[in-house]
Structure 1
Amino acid sequence: MDQADIPALLSRLASDEDAARKMAVFKLQSSINDPSFADVFISSGGLVILRRLIMVAGGNTLAYSLQSLTRLLEVDMGWDIFEGPSSGDLVERVVELIVTNPLVNILRGAMSILVALVGRSQSSSGGGGGGGGGGGDWTNNGFSPQTPSAIRTPGTFGFRALKPAVAVYPQFFELVIQQLQSADHALCANALMLINALIRDAVSSDSSSGSGSGAVQTKSPGAGAGEEWSKFIKRLQDLGLIRAVYNLLQSSALQDLAHPLLEFQSLTKVLLRKWREVRVDLERPEHRRALKGLHLASAPDRRHANGVTGANAAAATTEDGDVARKGSRRHNPEKWRRLGFETESPAIEFETAGFLGMMDLTDYVRKNEDGFQKLLLEQSTRPLNERCPVARASLAVTMILCDHFEVDKTEMEDIRGYQALNDAKSHDKLFRPLLLQWSRLHTAGLHAFFRLWKSTGAQRDDFDKVAELVRVLIEQVVGQASRMKDVLEVEDDLQEHDAARLRELQMELLELSFEDQWGPHLFQVRDELKHEALQFVKEQRIRCLLQGSWFTKPMPHTRQESYTKRRLYQPWRYAKLSHNRRYLHYADFPEKLPYEPGLDALTEKVDLGTISSVVSNVSTNPEAEPADSESAADQSPNSSTPTLRHNGAAITKPTTKITIYSFSDDMATNGSTTTPISPDTTTTITPTPVGGSSSSNHGGAGGEAKEQPVLTLYPLNHSLASEWLDGLLMLLSQAPITAETNKLVTLIGEYGLKIRLLNVRLEQMYAGPAGRGSGVGVVPGREGLDEDYYYEI
């Protein structure tokens, strides 16, 4: 619309005909957000007419008028409409519309105006925020800002502008919070923005600065104005604000409400941070009452609490009032330490967690008083060093939650997350509904702390270790929880993780931290340790061959031509590697001897230098690896393993075999090596001959290489098969192939890595490896070195 048309527009806006006013204000709302147009409109007296329309009009005319004023305020113009003696009537009219009018388009415009009105206090003041309420439900405690804002005109903007109107319509806040459940997403967003503006004004308002404290039991952190804001925050909680926003964070309407939800989430962190900054001071009556409530909730022994025990108890009940009064002035020397504090000055121990830590502790005690008393009674029966310090554990869980939710993160860093709102995959990272369940998470985390303390048999010196396990638990359960996961499921998960699993996760996280800082160095160490582990296992496997083992032999076929073989059948075979590791000696026996035969009793031998290949059906798949047994011969009669009988004795039929091949002396070996594979063969290995022998020594040139089996071994169980197969391969300079041996190599390498990690200090882990020019790790020379020296650990 042209600026020249403004007089005619104003004339139609002031018309007595509703149709003319409706059309004029409809056109006005589409043009008034132009600053040049708005400037002429205001200078022409348009604000007076617009105010009159808001006060008397209804229906769409009223909706268009509210929208026009909203767009005018968005370009930071038209604030004069809230100045003067009649400004209070306008604000009351807007509040009245929210309370009494059911039309969505009118409600949206009215709330937008109040958002701008309340938010004007922060934009015009330039002041910082003060104290706030703590926690997602702010731990159900009062609110009191700490830092006064810059000087501004009182009673014009912020919550002060709403107070007279809210006094007339006390149901205002209830109806605003009810709009958070509206099906109209724009109305829901405006309602949440209004609540955010009110909370932010409370943080930065100077009207409630000065006390900066809060009483957990009475919800009244200070006197005067501070108590007024405390009641305001508590009233919002009682009206279901936290539950309503929590549901919005888990709803499908997240995209339409993203900005106000993120702002509410950021404000929650501000409130938490400000409460943590409040120092616990016993000079404040509300702080003393909170600590006294903790003491009384612990159900102290009255006689012991009054310093009257044993024979003094009878004296305290006599008519001698002086004796009783003297006894009442004596205190239990462990009054606070029995609750889990380190000293008898509990206020000092809240220095890190601040008043937020006190609120969390008192909230837990208030909601779990019976369990708290039973826990203290159970701990009192244990030695002092084994008791779980309840108060310290509560403060530790508070700080763990602060770190997890990044309470110290500035609002500007949170605002940067707005850039990722278009990516649906980032919603689980940006939106944290569980932040609004602070009190329940603290209670569940504290219960997990008690459970881990008991299951690990921890002592006082192990407190930090248990706290680290709880930190890992919070990161694993709360950190990995999806946006849609209910808090009840999270509470159950926090109670299900055992200490062993958490310890594994802790070590995995530690390794990841090391990899971030020590990447190439860590990979190099892993390679070195893997090589050392492989050499260690190789020596172990070869020593198994040097020690020797018993094997079985299958029964020959029952055909007539094999009668002689069956008559000479000897079911036991013993094999052993020679001391010089060049020959494999073996012999067959009719029965298993009670002793290990020596090399002189083993009449047959195989030169390892002539071996061309080793074939085995031993599985290399760890999933198919059978359970180890002490001996296949010890299996029960009901075993599925086939058994044979020889001379009345039961002999277990082996299921695995190892066949050693060698080139025949009359075959050529210049061609490629081929290995016959039986139907049950799963692995074929062709090692390089050792001892300087070559396959070309076994035949002439010009023919194809052929092999023949020279020795077949039938291990009694899978472990023995793994030892001999991999032992032969590693003896022939080949890599092991069985799952059991590879698992052993990995296990030894991982343990070696963990042992080396234990030698690295905590600060080195985050600092990374030192540069070559730093002088760290340089070994000094011995020249000129006397006994007067030291080194730093």
Structure 2
Amino acid sequence: MDQADIPALLKRLASDEDAARKMAVFKLQSSINDPAFADVFISSGGLVILRRLIMTTGGNTLAYSLQSLSRLLEVDMGWDIFEGPSSGDLVERVVELIVTNPLVNILRGAMSILVALVGHTGGGVGGASGKVPGAFGFRALKPAVAVYPQFFELVITQLQSADHALCGNALMLINALIRDAVASDAAAGMVGSGRGGGEDWSKFIKRLQDLGLIKAVYGLLQQSSSLQDLALPLLEFQGLTKVLLRKWREVKVDLERPEHRRALKGLHLASAPERRVGIPNGTEDAKTTGSRKHNPEKWRRLGFETESPAAEFEPAGFLGMMDLTDYVRKNEDGFQKLLLEQSTYPLSERCPIARASLAVTMILYDHFDVDKSDLEDIRGYLALNEGKNNDRLFRPLLLQWSRLHTAGLHAFFRMWKTTGAQREDFDKVAELVRILIEQVVGQANRTKDVLEVEDDLQEYDAGRLRELQMELLELSFEDQWGTHLFQVREELKHEALQFVKEQRIRCLLQGSWFSKPMPRNNNAHSRENSYHRRRLYQPWRFAKLSHNRRYLHYADFPEQLAYEPGLEDLTEKVDLSTISSVVSNVSAPNETEPVAPPPADGEADDNSPSSYNASASQQQLQQQKPTTKITIYSFAEDIQPPRADGTAGAVGAGESKEQPILTLFPLNHSLASEWLDGLLMLLNQAPITAETNKLVTLVSEYGLKIRLLNVRLEQMYTGPVAGAGVVPSREGLDEDYFYEI
């Protein structure tokens, strides 16, 4: 609309005909957000007419009027409308519309005006700098809210509206009220008594929470349908929640303040101080112990370190006291039972409940980055393409602070009991709970309900949590001490290899039983001697390394003896210095039972009367097939082919040639791994089986974890102790000294 048409527009706005006013104000709302047009409109007396329309009209005319004023305030103009003796009437009119009018288009405009009014700082354009003090901000609404006390309840109710624009305006109004209340209290603190201002902001927030504010906003954060339209006010509410938490933490616990003194007294009374182990309630001793005599552990029995609890709240401030008192109030019976249970333990084994509560408060405080402003999150959201991939910015669980604190505290008690912790282990248990919070709360997606999070905190496996702690500790050391940690790993791997080598060789020194194959029939002419070979067949072989580790002794037996034969019973031996290689087909076993030798070729179907009648144990052995064998080779001159029983043939003159001199059939996979790698290590070769390599890795990793556990976390980041590396002065020294070598 052209500025030249403004006089005609004002005439129609002032008309007595509703249709003319409605059309004029409809056109006004589409043009008034142009600063040039708005300036002419204001200078022509348009604010007076617009105010009259808001005060007297209804229906669409009122809706368009409210929208026009809202758009005028958006360009930071028209603030004069709230000045003068009648400004309070206009604010009361807008508040009345929110309380009494059911029309969505009117509610939208009314809330938008109050958002601008409460959020205005008073330094804008259009004469706002000459306003009466207190005409803007939260104070501007107090007279009207006194007339309509249900105002805040109805605003919070609009957070459940199906109209996203109305819901967004309601949330922005709440944000503006909270922001102004906190800022006003801070300003009052700078000129007030020096205690950080009054408690108006705290009482106001408590009032909003009692009206269901947290539940309503939590529901909005978990919805996907309205998230895009309400993203910015929701992120702003998250930021204000952090501001409140930070502000509560900054309030120091002071026993001179009545509310703080009452909170501590409530903790003491909720602990049932008259109840003592072994003293029935109601007896004279109980009354004397609980009331007349001063308990020297009045506060320490609750988990404080001293009898001056106010000082112990310093890290968490009043926020820590709020969390502790809230837990005790909601879980009073459990709190008393826990105190009674802990009183039966020695002092060093009792879980300090108060310290644990304060520790969980600070864990949550750090987890949600309360000290960090959410302006970066809002800018990040605006930079994203239509809000894609922005779920990580919304943290509904931040609004469930009290429930997370209670669940985290119960998890602390569980970890304390599971790990069998003592007082000096407090920091270690707190670190476990910190990792638990990071794992459960930090990994929870936006739509995960707080009930599921509470269950996960209570059911998370302590062993898995310990593994996560070690992984995180290793990652921290990798970042801080990467080169040094690599060197430590190499050293530990070498030590583990030597350890496993000694273990494998000790298995050889102890000796083991092996199975032995049936003699083979090579041709038809040799079948006539099969009876004699079968009679000589001995299915068991025992091998053992000599004490000097130079010879491998072995012998064959017709049955497995109940004792282990000595070296004097082992008639054959192999000089380890002559071994050229050790070959095996070691693989994962298919059976857990002992592996037996296969039947000889050509003998499986021999049912003649002259067949060898094996014992029951030998028949059972023959029914099984071996999966592994170990063959030992040696260089010898003109070695004859090995005998059928697997021993070496005769040595004669000739060329040097590698030939098998001994074959072992292990009874199981573990035995095969022990002997194969043991022989290889005796020959100064690397182990090759997966079982041995796994054992080496296991030993080295445990060694690393033990070393990491001996290093305190702060040692990673702090420098050397004071005085370390300082060369002492020679002042005051005489010649009365000596070196001890």
Does the pair score TM above 0.5? yes
Q: Is the 8 A contact 1:537 1:745 kept in 2?
A: yes
Q: 2:599 — aligned with what?
A: none
**Secondary structure of 2:296's aligned partner:** coil
Q: 2:232 — aligned with what?
A: 259
User: Aligned pair in 2 of structure 1 residues 476, 553: CA closer, same or farther (>3 Å)?
Assistant: same
Q: Is the 8 A contact 1:210 1:226 kept in 2?
A: yes
Alignment partners' CA distance in 2, 1:281 and 1:490: 34
Q: 1:58 — aligned with what?
A: 58
Alignment partners' CA distance in 2, 1:350 and 1:488: 29
User: Aligned pair in 2 of structure 1 residues 786, 228: CA closer, same or farther (>3 Å)?
Assistant: same
1:264 shift after superposition: 0.9
1:247 shift after superposition: 0.8
Q: 1:343 — aligned with what?
A: 306
**Secondary structure of 2:120's aligned partner:** helix
**Secondary structure of 1:205's aligned partner:** helix
Alignment partners' CA distance in 2, 1:392 and 1:358: 11
User: Aligned pair in 2 of structure 1 residues 266, 776: CA closer, same or farther (>3 Å)?
Assistant: farther
Q: 1:644-673 CA distances to partner (integer Å, 9 max, x unpaired)? A: 994354664464322427599999xxxxxx
Does residue 99 in structure 1 map to residue 99 in structure 2? yes
1:697 shift after superposition: 7.2
User: Aligned pair in 2 of structure 1 residues 385, 525: CA closer, same or farther (>3 Å)?
Assistant: closer
Does residue 27 in structure 1 map to residue 66 in structure 2? no
Q: Which has the higher contact order (CA 8 A, sep 6+)?
A: 1
Q: Is the 8 A contact 2:122 2:136 kept in 1?
A: no
Output the aligned Cα RMSD.
4.2
Does residue 174 in structure 1 map to residue 153 in structure 2? yes
Alignment partners' CA distance in 2, 1:777 and 1:751: 36
Q: Is the 8 A contact 1:577 1:584 kept in 2?
A: yes
1:101 shift after superposition: 2.5
Alignment partners' CA distance in 2, 1:391 and 1:466: 14
Does residue 269 in structure 1 map to residue 242 in structure 2? yes
User: Aligned pair in 2 of structure 1 residues 711, 328: CA closer, same or farther (>3 Å)?
Assistant: closer
Q: Name structure 1 gaps, 5 residues minimum.
A: 125-149, 214-221, 317-323, 634-643, 668-695, 700-706, 779-784
* Residues 435-446 of structure 1 aligned to structure 2 (within 5 Å): 435-446=398-409
Q: 2:605 — aligned with what?
A: none
* Residues 559-578 of structure 1 aligned to structure 2 (within 5 Å): 562-577=530-545
1:568 shift after superposition: 1.8
Does residue 719 in structure 1 map to residue 690 in structure 2? no
Does residue 194 in structure 1 map to residue 163 in structure 2? no
Q: Amino acid of the residue matched to residue 183 of structure 2?
A: S
Q: Amino acid of the residue matched to residue 584 of structure 2?
A: V
1:334 shift after superposition: 1.9
Segment of structure 1 superposing worse, 761-770 or 519-528 = 761-770
Q: 2:560 — aligned with what?
A: 592
**Secondary structure of 1:479's aligned partner:** coil
Q: Is the 8 A contact 1:576 1:599 kept in 2?
A: no
1:260 shift after superposition: 0.9
Q: Is the 8 A contact 2:83 2:131 kept in 1?
A: no
Alignment partners' CA distance in 1, 2:682 and 2:393: 57
Q: Is the 8 A contact 2:51 2:90 kept in 1?
A: yes
Alignment partners' CA distance in 1, 2:235 and 2:498: 57
* Residues 190-589 of structure 1 aligned to structure 2 (within 5 Å): 190-206=169-185, 209=188, 226=198, 229-252=201-224, 253-301=226-274, 330-419=293-382, 422=385, 426-555=389-518, 562-577=530-545, 585-589=553-557
1:406 shift after superposition: 1.6
Alignment partners' CA distance in 2, 1:267 and 1:89: 30
Does residue 658 in structure 1 map to residue 629 in structure 2? yes
Q: 2:8 — aligned with what?
A: 8
**Secondary structure of 2:236's aligned partner:** helix
Alignment partners' CA distance in 2, 1:424 and 1:541: 61
Alignment partners' CA distance in 2, 1:371 and 1:36: 67
Alignment partners' CA distance in 1, 2:386 and 2:42: 42
Q: Is the 8 A contact 2:107 2:166 kept in 1?
A: yes
1:198 shift after superposition: 0.6
Q: Is the 8 A contact 1:279 1:354 kept in 2?
A: yes
1:344 shift after superposition: 1.7
User: Aligned pair in 2 of structure 1 residues 345, 776: CA closer, same or farther (>3 Å)?
Assistant: closer
Instruction: Count residues with an aligned counterpart.
Output: 685
Q: Is the 8 A contact 2:582 2:679 kept in 1?
A: no
1:118 shift after superposition: 0.6
**Secondary structure of 1:464's aligned partner:** helix
Q: Amino acid of the residue matched to residue 2 of structure 2?
A: D
**Secondary structure of 1:574's aligned partner:** strand
User: Aligned pair in 2 of structure 1 residues 277, 591: CA closer, same or farther (>3 Å)?
Assistant: same
1:285 shift after superposition: 1.8
Q: Amino acid of the residue matched to residue 24 of structure 1?
A: A
Does residue 748 in structure 1 map to residue 711 in structure 2? no
Q: 1:766 — aligned with what?
A: 717
**Secondary structure of 2:442's aligned partner:** helix
Alignment partners' CA distance in 2, 1:254 and 1:283: 45
Q: Is the 8 A contact 2:555 2:569 kept in 1?
A: no
Q: Amino acid of the residue matched to residue 298 of structure 1?
A: S
Q: 1:218 — aligned with what?
A: none
Alignment partners' CA distance in 2, 1:498 and 1:3: 72
Q: Amino acid of the residue matched to residue 78 of structure 1?
A: G
Alignment partners' CA distance in 1, 2:567 and 2:3: 116
1:709 shift after superposition: 5.8
User: Aligned pair in 2 of structure 1 residues 58, 712: CA closer, same or farther (>3 Å)?
Assistant: farther
1:398 shift after superposition: 1.3
1:750 shift after superposition: 0.9
The sequence identity of aligned pairs, in percent, is 78
User: Aligned pair in 2 of structure 1 residues 494, 615: CA closer, same or farther (>3 Å)?
Assistant: same
1:95 shift after superposition: 1.7
Q: Is the 8 A contact 2:636 2:659 kept in 1?
A: no
Q: 1:556-595 CA distances to partner (integer Å, 9 max, x unpaired)? A: 6899664443222111112345678776554322233423
Q: Name structure 2 gaps, 5 residues minimum.
A: 597-611, 639-653, 728-734
Alignment partners' CA distance in 2, 1:245 and 1:170: 21
Q: 1:691-712 CA distances to partner (integer Å, 9 max, x unpaired)? A: xxxxx9756xxxxxxx976543
Q: Amino acid of the residue matched to residue 673 of structure 2?
A: S
Q: 1:217 — aligned with what?
A: none
Q: Is the 8 A contact 2:232 2:378 kept in 1?
A: no
Q: 2:42 — aligned with what?
A: 42
User: Aligned pair in 2 of structure 1 residues 564, 506: CA closer, same or farther (>3 Å)?
Assistant: same
Alignment partners' CA distance in 2, 1:424 and 1:776: 55
Q: Is the 8 A contact 1:452 1:498 kept in 2?
A: no
Q: Amino acid of the residue matched to residue 656 of structure 1?
A: T
**Secondary structure of 2:698's aligned partner:** helix
Query: TM-score, normalising length from structure 1?
Result: 0.77
1:720 shift after superposition: 0.8
User: Aligned pair in 2 of structure 1 residues 516, 345: CA closer, same or farther (>3 Å)?
Assistant: same
User: Aligned pair in 2 of structure 1 residues 664, 595: CA closer, same or farther (>3 Å)?
Assistant: closer
Segment of structure 1 superposing worse, 435-444 or 515-524 = 515-524
Alignment partners' CA distance in 2, 1:55 and 1:96: 11
User: Aligned pair in 2 of structure 1 residues 311, 2: CA closer, same or farther (>3 Å)?
Assistant: closer
User: Aligned pair in 2 of structure 1 residues 724, 302: CA closer, same or farther (>3 Å)?
Assistant: closer
Alignment partners' CA distance in 2, 1:36 and 1:425: 37
Q: 1:490-526 CA distances to partner (integer Å, 9 max, x unpaired)? A: 1111111343332222111111111222234323433
User: Aligned pair in 2 of structure 1 residues 96, 251: CA closer, same or farther (>3 Å)?
Assistant: same
Q: 1:443-502 CA distances to partner (integer Å, 9 max, x unpaired)? A: 111112222222222222222222222222212211122211111111111111343332
User: Aligned pair in 2 of structure 1 residues 599, 7: CA closer, same or farther (>3 Å)?
Assistant: farther
